Amino acid sequence: MAGEGRSNAISPRAMFWLRVDSPLGRTMCRHHGSPIPTAEFCMRILVLTDYGTLDGGAEVIVLGLREALRARGHVVHVFTSSAGADVGDSFADTRCFGTKTALRTPLQSLNFSAARTLRRVLEEFRPDVIHVNLYLTQLSPLILREFGEIPAVYYAQWYRAICPLGTRRLPSGETCQKRAGTVCVGSGCLPSWDWPFMWFQMQLDQAWGNRFSRVAAISHAVARRLKQFGAAHLVNPAVIYPGTPVVSPRTDMASDPVVLAAGRMVPDKGFDILIRAFAKIARSQPRAQLILLGDGPQLSSLRELSQQLGMSDRVEFRGRRSHAETQHTIRSAWVVCMPSLWEEPLGMMSVESQMQGVAVLASSTGGLPETLADNETGAVVPPGDVAALSKTLETLLGDRERTWNLGMRGHQRARELFGLDVAAVRFESFFHQAIENRG
């Protein structure tokens, strides 16, 4: 049986966790044929998330967690929608219907394909716990109804559960300080024809939110907002930092200063602020270069801005890159900059950069300050402050040794707080608590 080689005194709860007799993914609690002694009990974990391609930080987190949990001996099955699957290879084990077309708006409220397919997976896989990552942009709250008495946890990686846009950022650029409702239409965040679908989704989510045994947030910043604006099931979240694979820190820096920023080219990311700040230090740092990775609706205007500031030969737009290519580019940078204007839920780019041994310069907004230690592994500046960003950037690029040391200390901090194995243990404990709470 699955518990062979363990103590003969197996409790009923242990037997529950060690069950492996489903038709879907029938396996013993082993990894590549060898027992994994790191986990006290083997669990069957069903992970639900909207997307199964590596298009963003949330998907990178899910894939890393799946591999870490499997390495600890657990049986993990990932369920996603098919949305965006044509962009890249999906890492999902099972997919339901999903779309990024205009049909997504009603689908967010009622995805019958997700509910129907999930019902089958639950019957076949028979999970001990359900880990819900993202579900409000594809899978819909309809999936919550299928959980029954199976323990389920929700991991809030952004503000979507309390904001239809997921950003809490008003068209004016200010942070919204009101609970979601008709104000979303009055403020111009949502068109009137989208509002009925979003209202219906919120009603379903609040009605079935009690299906979650536990709720966790990706950062203290997200946890505070859930407590402030969330429905009853969201107001007492735990905080669990995600993990990233532990790698060796880089062994050298580029000979000339390189500043790197990556992400979707949208106003919320503050790339225009970064270009303006970089232009201010162009004379004092004549050999410095700014590299921007990513694409999006603001790309052309950012190119025009760099031309207007006379930075065309100093600012390089490399377009969208794979996650692996981005990680490789990070290692050559002196500083990775995250000049975000919105309340970033956390900032995996900051975490991954420090793991590589690179200093990070970030806005003091949302969860970003939680990812680094100011003046020890990097620096934080007020969001949207061109002068402060420029001054700090000039200091970092003007002191190679200090910037190197910031990166090395960042690597050590990232290993301790954000190592993938560390995160896996935290989630493992969280799953155990959810199972015990559900009884």
Specify the 3-state DSSP secondary structure of 149. Answer: coil
**Half-sphere exposure of residue 418: CA atoms within 13 angstroms, side-chain side:** 26
Pairing of strands 30-31, 34-35: antiparallel
Specify the 3-state DSSP secondary structure of 145. Answer: helix
Pairing of strands 152-156, 214-217: parallel
Specify the 3-state DSSP secondary structure of 112. Answer: helix
* Residue labelled with tokens 């203290």: 220
Residue 49 CB neighbours (<10 A)? 25
Task: Report domain 258-418's class.
Answer: alpha beta
Specify the 3-state DSSP secondary structure of 158. Answer: coil
Please indicate whether the domains covering 12-243+420-438 and 258-418 agree at the CATH topology level. Answer: yes
Per-residue pLDDT for 428 more than 80? yes
Reported as a single tens digit per residue, the pLDDT across 319-362 is 999 888 999 999 999 999 999 999 999 999 999 999 999 999 99
Residue 23 CB neighbours (<10 A)? 9
Least Cα distance to 351 among 422, 292, 268 occurs for 422
Q: What residues have CB less than 8 Å from 145, skipping those under 6 apart? A: 115, 208, 211
pLDDT of residue 56: 81
pLDDT of residue 86: 64
Specify the 3-state DSSP secondary structure of 92. Answer: coil
3-state helix, strand, coil in the chain (%, to 5): 40, 15, 45
Cα(346)–Cα(354) distance, integer angstroms: 14
* Domain residue ranges in the chain: 12-243+420-438, 258-418
Reported as a single tens digit per residue, the pLDDT across 400-427 is 999 999 999 999 999 999 999 999 999 9
Arithmetic mean of pLDDT, 292-316: 96
Arithmetic mean of pLDDT, 107-123: 97
Residue 57's pLDDT band (cuts 50, 70, 90): confident
pLDDT of residue 184: 94
Give, as one character, the DSSP assignment of residue 95: E
Cα(94)–Cα(52) distance, integer angstroms: 10
Fold annotation for 12-243+420-438: Rossmann fold (3.40.50)
Amino acid at 218: I
